[in-house]
Amino acid sequence: MAELVPNPLYEALEDALRVVEPLVHEIEAGVEAPYQAFHSGHVWTGPTAKAFDAQLAHYRTYVRSSGDKILSDLHEALARTPHEVTAEEAKTIMSRYGLP
């Protein structure tokens, strides 16, 4: 039986998740704070504020759903990827994806 080695694609996906997850949370927090401040009632009121609120709520939802989708896709790809592969498969994966 062929010797198994760590799958470079699995490692790359883990690295991507480690980098991307905090960024997604940072972006979500960056939208959430102004949204909460706006909804405090102390920032801006009036008809234009209501229109802005609708747009801000839309972007907040978009940011959250996009971040969730990105993280979900990475987790799914990681779950489908074997931890180990043969040395030959590892070479092929590294070549195909330009991994070091």
3 belongs to a structural domain? no
Q: How far apart are the C-alpha atoms of 57 and 52, rounded to whole Å?
A: 8
- Say what the pTM is: 0.85
Specify the DSSP element, H or E, that contains 75: helix 47-80
- Residue-range definition of the domain harbouring residue 68: 8-20+42-97
Q: What is the pLDDT of residues 60-92, one digit of tens each?
A: 999 999 999 999 999 999 999 999 999 999 999
pLDDT reading at 1 higher than 80: no
Q: Is residue 53 part of a domain?
A: yes
Residue 29 belongs to some domain of the structure: no
Report pLDDT for 96: 96
Residue 68 forms part of a structural domain: yes
Higher pLDDT, 41 or 16: 16
Whether residue 35 lies inside any domain: the answer is no
The reply to whether 25 falls in a domain is no
Q: Convert the pLDDT of each residue in 43-63 to its tens digit.
A: 888 899 889 999 999 999 999
Number of domains observed in the structure of the chain: 1
Q: Are 84 and 9 in contact (CB under 8 A)?
A: no
Per the domain annotation, does 88 fall within a domain?
A: yes
70 part of a folded domain: yes
Convert the pLDDT of each residue in 20-38 to its tens digit.
999 999 999 999 999 999 8
Residue 19 has pLDDT above 80, yes or no: yes
User: Residue 86's beta-bridge partner residues?
Assistant: 4
